[in-house]
Amino acid sequence: MKIVPVSVTSQIVKILRHSVLTCELRPGDRLVESKLCENFEVSRPSLREALACLASEGLLIHRPNRGYQVAEITLEGFQNRCELRVVVEGANARIAAERATPQQVEALYAAAIVEAEDAKTLIEQNRQFHLEIAKATGNPELVEITRRVLDTDNQPYFYGVDLHACTTAKAITAEHRTIVDAVSANDGKLAEKRMVQHIREKEARIVAAWNHAS
């Protein structure tokens, strides 16, 4: 394990990012600098650096003189992000199928499994799988973009909008497996198609629940 110094700012970024993803901080919530400084016991400059990072990632939005708040979720925005996911992750699957090493395929099968009691862990497992696919492309740029997209796209779960996911964990695992199967068979076209469908189906479920809720 390599020893690396860890800056205060980077730790805050991690914690806050996690808070947003798990909806501990919910869309629209304001982030009052003084409060956060107290909580984390850090200085305001350090905190603001972290906030600037997160805003740059799109997780927070910044309105001059009105500070930072968690980015609001809109149906339109959600669908736009899904489109982006389809584009990027579809390509991830295709490229992974073309390049993944046997070890990576092995890792993918392991990561495909989504099973947990609590929603939080479920989300995290799902997220890890999608990241693992990205890693299998061997292209760090794709990994980074994928991470970004996933980070701004998991919130709907916590809206209680996709609670069915808990009951369908097995189904999702199965879907993941079929994707990996295609990757394992070096069938790029098929892997892409399945990944796209996987994302589109989830989108449809959430959109339906969303409309139902409002």
Partner DNA sequence: TTGAACAAATTGTATGACAATCTGTCAAAA
Partner DNA sequence: TTTTGACAGATTGTCATACAATTTGTTCAA
Q: Residues 11, 26, 33, 48: which binds its own copies (CB under 8 A)?
A: 48
Binding pattern for the stretch 22-41 against DNA, x by CB under 7 A and - elsewhere: --------xxxxx------x
Distances (CA, A) of 25 to 19, 32, 87, 112, 161: 5, 12, 28, 28, 17
Task: Provide the 8-state DSSP code for 26.
Answer: P
Q: Is residue 46 at the binding interface for DNA, with CB under 7 A as the rule?
A: yes
Task: Mark the segment that binds DNA (CB under 7 A) among 4-12, 21-29, 109-117, 163-171.
Answer: 4-12
Sign of torsion, CA 83 214 173 19? Answer: positive
User: And the tokens for 81?
Assistant: 């992000």
Binding pattern for the stretch 50-89 against DNA, x by CB under 7 A and - elsewhere: ------------x-xxxxx---------------------
Binding pattern for the stretch 80-109 against its own copies, x by CB under 8 A and - elsewhere: xx-xx--xx--x---x--------------
Residue 142 contact among its own copies, DNA, none, beta carbon within 5 to 8 Å by kind: its own copies
State the Cα–Cα distance between residues 98 and 161, nearest whole angstrom.
35
Residue 31 contact among its own copies, DNA, none, beta carbon within 5 to 8 Å by kind: DNA
By C-beta, is 28 or 140 nearer to its own copies? 140
Q: Is residue 8 at the binding interface for DNA, with CB under 7 A as the rule?
A: yes
By C-beta, is 45 or 160 nearer to DNA? 45
Residue appearing with tokens 């910044």: 62
Kindly list the residues in this chain that would bind DNA in the complex (CB under 7 A): 5, 7-9, 30-34, 41-46, 48, 62, 64-68
